[in-house]
Amino acid sequence: MEDLVTMPDSCDQGKSPWTFRVDRMAADDVALVGNQCMLGNGYVGYRGTLEEYSSDQLVGCMLNGVYDQVPGKWRETVNAPNGLFTRIEGAGEMSRHQLELNIRKGRLRRDSTVAMPFGVVTIQSERFVSHDNVHLICMSYSVRPSESGAVVVHTGIDREVWDINGPHLGDFEISEVGEVLCVSATTQELGITVAVSEVIDCPFEVSVAGSTRTVTFEAEAGRTYGFTKYVSIYTSLDCDAPVDESIRCCREAKAAGYDSLGVAHDERWENHWRDCDVEIEGDDEAQFALRYSLYQIQLAAPRHSETVSIPARALSGQVYKGAVFWDTEMFMTPVFTLTDPSVARNLILYRYHTLPGALAKAKEYGYKGAFYAWEGQEGGKEACTHFNVTDVFTGRPMRTYFRDKQIHISADIVYAIWQYVELTGDDSVLVEGAAEVMVECARFFYSYAYFKEDKDRYELIDVTGPDEYHERVGNNSYTNRMVKHCMDATLAALKRLEELDPDGYEDLDTKTGFVKELSRWARFSERLYIPKPAESSRIIPQFDGYETLEDVSVQALKERVLNPNEYLGGGSGLATTTKVLKQADVVLMLNLFPNDHELDVVRKNWEYYEPRTEHGSSLSACAYAMVGATIGRADWAYDYFMKTATVDLTGNSKQYVGTLYIGGTHPAANGGSWLSAVYGFAGLSANAESISCKPSLPSKWKSMRFTVRWRGDRYAVHVTQEKGTVLKCKEVVKV
């Protein structure tokens, strides 16, 4: 974390640090700091930019699940106009500046000294994106001039927000209703209305022009003058009258006041921490990094709706088109399954609501069932294009096969659903749509597979596994194993549905006609080829023919690179003809199916694939951390854990693929940090029958404590270097 992040002294609650400070203010830092100091509540993500910033400094107020496409450009999430915009007239360069993010409470404070025509002014602000009311953002703002005189502050709603493929909003309308200002606009493609209202509580003279207020007062040198501001956002996806709703919300917020709204917000955060916190004794750096990761993932958790999910860059911007990937099911949902199942439930049902897109995609390719989008947007629409990367040398778009061949996404979704059902005991999700998702995914895989008469087995050929550098391979071990799990889990889920809700079972059959396919699916699962460890080496081949590729180290491969942003995969990528893989693939599979192989096989594969993995994706390191801990190499695992847990603190991640900017926050890594700590170091193991732990702590960790929710009850887990205990808590927790 070096000089980017000052490890805090201590915050006002508890003995461990919960805040970090950033004092960077150069123009080059705005992207990183904007990510580091994010606020959000699953409905909206607000970047950590300063009040006076505008589109050039990447101000983003990203609305989860609101997408728009400008003709000829990529569809992406919409940023709402910036209701926190505030600027002091005459303010110049900052001479001193600090942002302090309190991750325990989701509050961001600013303290800056800024040059004025006469003297300087100290600006202090605090903001929070309410966790009590997802439509509300609150800010308090104050100034303290060094010289007496008139101070003029402009504050209002600014349209100049970050757009990668915009502009998305048009037909702007400004209204002033009583003391509330409102800007509404509509998206280009679907005509969604976005309404942003704001009101201020201010004792000074205020005039309004357009969507900006001007606050004027005579200030005495050294005295502090301030106001509070309430911003509310609604869209026509939320309600019929978003303008009215946002105005009403602002009025109510002003009446309630900043402090009381803050108390309600803080209470919600206390609940989140009660559910997800992990205490690490003996390693403050790891402690903070893990908590920070949990903070980031909480910002994007959709508690309010099952029609949105968590995009690959969370709500930090339009990067990756604001789309939802397999990242959610493999690295985020499992965290919520054990900490806050209601969020996991929403994430799962999101896939039910987006099933139409997955059915359409399978059909487009000539398959049956549900082929989920690689980059999913509203309704499950596929956002990934056929030419998704631009070659840095020629400037030409490259044909990539992420969209066409990463079929594992449908199996990943089923994995998350079944894990949720098993670990929470909440079968009702099957009735409410998850069983239908499973049926359609199973049906898709059956239609995708080939039966090879000569080998008497089913195979999955022409696929891309998690390692995207090797496209269109045969029998990717991860994919085949996940598909087998998909078939088995679907059969088990349907059996359960039949017992639980015979009418629902029949209705599902009437709707989808699955019953006649069940025996085929069982046979497919039995005869699906699962690559085995080689006789002598015990290495599981990543795919057919992997062993014939050039064996070169990651380091040696990197020496061949001509342009730091060149894409290593695809048709002509440097890694394509070598064994170098982008991210955990076989190792991820070993982690998901820990009972498939003896520990010795797991260890040999970890050791084999580790030096060949580039970790070109932020999803990779946590898989190596988890498996590393399982094989008793906690200290190897530790480095991978820290790499995962600090990715959004340090900003050490790939920023470009080809010419495509991919910066932002990394919720999969954030979730992966918790998974590494809990499943890896604490060695938690849970299924429908039992829950236990077998710790393998890094040498400097004395102990870990956390709670999980398992099958309706809360359990306290305490592990030390020597042993682990899992004890049922007295309180009753409803899923």
How many residues in total does the chain contain? Answer: 735
Q: Considering the complex, what minimum distance in angstroms separates the CB of residue 478 from ligand BGC?
A: 11
C-alpha torsion 398→402→405→406, nearest 10: 160
Rounded to whole angstroms, the Cα distance separating 116 from 92 reads 6
Secondary element (H or E) of residue 435: helix 435-448
Is residue 619 part of the contact set for ligand BGC (CB under 6 A)?
Answer: yes
Upper half-sphere CA count for residue 514 (Cβ side, 13 Å): 31
Q: Which of 4, 166, 178 is nearest to 81 (CA)?
A: 166
Q: Considering the complex, what minimum distance in angstroms separates the CB of residue 596 from ligand BGC?
A: 22
Contacting residues for 132 by C-beta, under 8 A, at least 6 apart: 261, 264, 265, 267, 268
Is residue 325 part of the contact set for ligand BGC (CB under 6 A)?
Answer: yes
Residues in contact with ligand BGC, counted by CB under 6 A, come to a total of 12
Assess whether 89 carries a catalytic annotation: no
Is residue 188 part of the contact set for ligand BGC (CB under 6 A)?
Answer: no
Q: Which residue lies nearer to ligand BGC by CB, 182 or 568? A: 568
**Partners of 22 in beta bridges:** 99
Among 68, 238, 275, 327, binds ligand BGC (CB under 6 A): 327
Q: Considering the complex, what minimum distance in angstroms separates the CB of residue 410 from ligand BGC?
A: 14
With vertex at residue 104, the alpha carbon angle to CA 103 and CA 110, rounded to the nearest 5 degrees, is: 50
Q: Which residue lies nearer to ligand BGC by CB, 61 or 668? A: 668
For the record, the structure tokens of 269 come out as 């955060």
Exactly one of 52, 329, 468, 471 is catalytic; which is it? 468
Site for ligand BGC in 328-387 (CB under 6 A): none
What is the sign, positive or negative, of the torsion defined by CA atoms of 623, 392, 663, 305? negative
Stretch of residues binding ligand BGC (CB under 6 A), selected from 118-126, 318-326, 500-508, 557-565: 318-326
Site for ligand BGC in 443-482 (CB under 6 A): 466, 468
Is residue 624 part of the contact set for ligand BGC (CB under 6 A)?
Answer: no
Beta-sheet strands, E only, within 146-261? 149-156, 169-177, 180-187, 193-201, 205-209, 212-219, 225-235
Tell me how many helices (H) and strands (E) the chain has.
22, 29
Q: Considering the complex, what minimum distance in angstroms separates the CB of residue 406 from ligand BGC?
A: 8
Q: What is the pattern of x (binds ligand BGC, CB under 6 A) and - over residues 671-710? A: ----------------------------------------
Among 67, 273, 292, 326, binds ligand BGC (CB under 6 A): 326
Q: Considering the complex, what minimum distance in angstroms separates the CB of residue 654 from ligand BGC?
A: 7
- In the three-class reduction of DSSP (H, G, I as helix; E, B as strand; rest coil), residue 169 is classed as strand
Is residue 614 part of the contact set for ligand BGC (CB under 6 A)?
Answer: no
Stretch of residues binding ligand BGC (CB under 6 A), selected from 115-123, 320-328, 378-386, 456-464: 320-328
Contacting residues for 294 by C-beta, under 8 A, at least 6 apart: 276, 277, 278, 670, 673, 674
Q: Which residue lies nearer to ligand BGC by CB, 406 or 525? A: 406
Rounded to whole angstroms, the Cα distance separating 521 from 20 reads 52
Q: Considering the complex, what minimum distance in angstroms separates the CB of residue 617 from ligand BGC?
A: 4
Stretch of residues binding ligand BGC (CB under 6 A), selected from 222-230, 321-329, 357-365, 558-566: 321-329
Q: Considering the complex, what minimum distance in angstroms separates the CB of residue 619 from ligand BGC?
A: 5
Q: Which residue lies nearer to ligand BGC by CB, 273 or 325? A: 325
For the record, the structure tokens of 681 come out as 């170091």
Rounded to whole angstroms, the Cα distance separating 539 from 549 reads 14
Among 617, 644, 653, 676, binds ligand BGC (CB under 6 A): 617
Q: Considering the complex, what minimum distance in angstroms separates the CB of residue 615 from ligand BGC?
A: 10
Among 64, 246, 583, 644, binds ligand BGC (CB under 6 A): 583
Identity of the residue numbered 673: S
Task: Please list, residue by residue across 561-570, b when 16 or more beta carbons sit within 10 angstroms of its beta carbon and e when fewer do.
Answer: eeeeebbbbb
Catalytic residue list: 468
* Interface contacts to ligand BGC, rule CB under 6 A: 312, 320, 325-327, 466, 468, 582-583, 617, 619, 668
